[in-house]
């Protein structure tokens, strides 16, 4: 079964001959509250707009994203998911050597290598809960022309210390090194966009931010992400971007941005309670060691030598629960898996199934 990414329900259902509807997906890390009702209404009421091509300049969507992110319109560019934004940004930055703490989201490496860049991995330490040690990264800045950071990081669920990050960006700037920060999960951390570097964009012209609406509104099928960057880079990205790469449903999503704050507050409350609870509960299972999470997913280490994560993944899936085998992340091994934080009744099902599978071996 392909395990390149989580959330591949189709693949899992085919491989295990289990109907998709019978699988509870803990492998994709989406908002546990699901798609907001008001957004669903916007899609239903706007279905007629799909009769037309989207505005190729995305004038309204860009204004909505700009307003939401608090960044001027010329500094914003929509993308077909954060994934298109990542690839397009690296196409324009064309870095030669990119310092990248690992484990992290695998598409960065693909995007960097596609433009002839080399990833310089910095392997994060499990003993330090995979926190990024900026003091150790700083001496490496003169060996690279770009740094890729994910905040909070997938799959470790660790948040960067904001002051340390800002000081690192300033040091990188002094050396002419660009810093890309992927904030796809930032709204799902306890302080939400309070953890974002977006307010510092105008101060640091070496800072590039990737964002997504995918995770926060649980809309992976819609494909909507965006980049925040200085205007000349956005112009270069526009020139390379495929016309209409962002579809009509994604465009409609922009209409929800001005009214999403209550939903995001409700989401943060749910994620905070559930991530703490699930972390504690998993920690009570003798064979497992969860890493303290900062957002809506938890990286878990299997500390029983006789237990193989691939087997655990398959056995759990046969019981209707999909977890993310995390062994294919650079910097991890076959002892690690990742689970999304979902709602309490679903988290209970995950725990019961984990215990049943582990204790019946
Ligand atoms: C950190 C991170 N950035 C970006 C993405 C891609 O997001 P999108 O589905 O919007 O392309 C993912 C998907 O899992 C992710 O984990």
Return the CATH number at 227. Answer: 3.40.640.10
Instruction: Say if residue 361's pLDDT is above 80.
Output: no
> pLDDT tens for residues 190-249?
999 999 999 999 999 999 999 999 999 999 999 999 999 999 999 999 999 999 999 999
Question: What pLDDT is stored for residue 355 in this prediction?
Answer: 96
109 in the same domain as 88: yes
Ligand 1 mutation target, pool 214, 250, 324, most atoms within 8 A of CB: 214
Q: Count of domains in the chain?
A: 2
Question: What pLDDT is stored for residue 2 in this prediction?
Answer: 41
Q: How confident is the model at residue 360 (pLDDT cuts 50, 70, 90)?
A: confident
**How far is 209 from 216, CA to CA, in rounded Å?**
16
Domain end call among 259, 289, 322: 259
148 in the same domain as 274: no
Domain end call among 259, 294, 311: 259
Task: Kindly state whether residue 92 falls inside one of the protein's structural domains.
Answer: yes
**How far is 235 from 328, CA to CA, in rounded Å?**
36
Share of the chain above pLDDT 90, in %: 92
What would the two tokens of residue 266 be? 């409700």
Which backbone phi and psi does 311 adopt, to 5 degrees? -65, -45
105 close to ligand 1 (CB < 6 Angstrom): yes
> pLDDT tens for residues 242-292?
999 999 999 999 999 999 999 999 999 999 999 999 999 999 999 999 999
User: Do residues 258 and 234 lie in contact, with contact meaning Cβ atoms separated by under 8 Å?
Assistant: no
What would the two tokens of residue 311 be? 């087997």
**How far is 182 from 167, CA to CA, in rounded Å?**
17
214 close to ligand 1 (CB < 6 Angstrom): yes
Residue whose CA lies nearest to ligand 1 atom number 7: 82
Q: Tokens 């994604």 map to which residue?
A: 250
Instruction: Say if residue 1's pLDDT is above 90.
Output: no
Question: What pLDDT is stored for residue 18 in this prediction?
Answer: 85
Q: Give the number of C-alpha atoms closer than 13 A to the C-alpha of residue 24, restricted to the C-beta side.
A: 18
Q: What is the average per-residue pLDDT within 36-58? A: 98
253 in the same domain as 300: no
- CA proximity to 323, closest of 300, 345, 291, 352: 300
- CA proximity to 120, closest of 329, 299, 327, 330: 330
What is the 188 CA–ligand 1 centroid distance (Å)? Answer: 13
Instruction: Say if residue 94's pLDDT is above 60.
Output: yes
Question: What pLDDT is stored for residue 240 in this prediction?
Answer: 97
Instruction: Say if residue 93's pLDDT is above 60.
Output: yes
Instruction: Say if residue 68's pLDDT is above 90.
Output: yes
What would the two tokens of residue 61 be? 């969507």
What is the 327 CA–ligand 1 centroid distance (Å)? Answer: 18
Question: What pLDDT is stored for residue 15 in this prediction?
Answer: 84
Q: What is the average per-residue pLDDT within 42-49? A: 98
Enclosing domain of residue 65: 37-259
Strand partners, 98: 119, 146
156 close to ligand 1 (CB < 6 Angstrom): no
SS3 24: strand
Ligand 1 mutation target, pool 88, 183, 188, 212, most atoms within 8 A of CB: 212
User: Do residues 78 and 99 lie in contact, with contact meaning Cβ atoms separated by under 8 Å?
Assistant: no
Domain end call among 234, 259, 284: 259
Which residues make Cβ contacts (< 8 Å) with residue 292, sequence separation at least 6? Answer: 129, 157, 279
Containing H/E element for 70? none
Residue 236 CB burial class (10 angstroms; 0-12, 13-18, ≥19): middle
Question: What pLDDT is stored for residue 12 in this prediction?
Answer: 82
Question: What pLDDT is stored for residue 3 in this prediction?
Answer: 47
240 in the same domain as 177: yes
What would the two tokens of residue 108 be? 């960065």
End-to-end CA distance of the chain: 22
Ligand 1 atom nearest residue 150's Cα: 1
Question: What pLDDT is stored for residue 9 in this prediction?
Answer: 84
Judged by average pLDDT, the poorest of 10-19, 29-38, 69-78, 190-199 is 10-19
Give the distance from CA 112 to its chain's centroid. 17
């Amino acid at each position: 079964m392909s395990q390149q990414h989580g959330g591949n329900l189709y693949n899992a259902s085919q491989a295990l001959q289990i109907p998709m509807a019978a699988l509870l997906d803990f492998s994709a890390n989406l908002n546990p509250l699901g798609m907001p009702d008001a957004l669903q209404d916007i899609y239903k009421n706007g279905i007629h707009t799909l009769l037309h091509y989207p505005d190729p300049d995305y004038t309204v969507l860009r204004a909505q994203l700009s307003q939401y992110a608090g960044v001027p319109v010329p500094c914003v560019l929509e993308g077909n998911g954060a994934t298109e934004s990542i690839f397009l940004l690296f196409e324009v930055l064309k870095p030669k050597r990119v310092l990248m703490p690992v484990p992290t989201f695998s598409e960065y490496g693909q995007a960097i290598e596609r433009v002839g860049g080399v990833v310089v991995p910095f392997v994060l330490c499990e003993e330090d809960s995979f926190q990024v040690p900026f003091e150790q990264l700083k001496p490496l800045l003169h060996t690279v022309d770009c740094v890729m950071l994910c905040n909070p990081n997938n799959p470790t669920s660790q948040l960067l210390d904001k002051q340390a990050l800002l000081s690192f960006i300033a040091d990188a700037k002094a050396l002419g090194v660009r810093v890309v920060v992927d904030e796809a999960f930032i709204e799902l951390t306890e302080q939400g966009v309070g953890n974002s570097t977006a307010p510092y964009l105008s101060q640091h012209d070496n800072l590039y931010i990737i964002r997504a609406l995918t995770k926060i509104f649980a809309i992976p099928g819609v494909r909507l992400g965006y980049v925040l960057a200085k205007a000349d880079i956005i112009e270069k990205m526009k020139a390379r971007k495929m016309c209409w790469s962002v579809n009509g449903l994604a465009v409609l999503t922009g209409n929800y941005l001005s009214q999403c704050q209550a939903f995001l507050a409700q989401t943060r409350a749910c994620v905070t309670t559930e991530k703490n609870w699930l972390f504690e509960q998993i920690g009570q299972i003798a064979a497992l060691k969860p890493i303290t999470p900062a957002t809506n997913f938890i990286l878990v280490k299997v500390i029983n030598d006789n237990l193989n994560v691939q087997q655990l993944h398959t056995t759990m899936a046969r019981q209707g629960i999909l977890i993310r085998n995390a062994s294919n992340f650079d910097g991890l091994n076959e002892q690690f898996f990742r689970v999304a934080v979902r709602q309490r009744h679903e988290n209970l099902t995950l725990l019961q199934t984990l215990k049943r599978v582990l204790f019946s071996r």
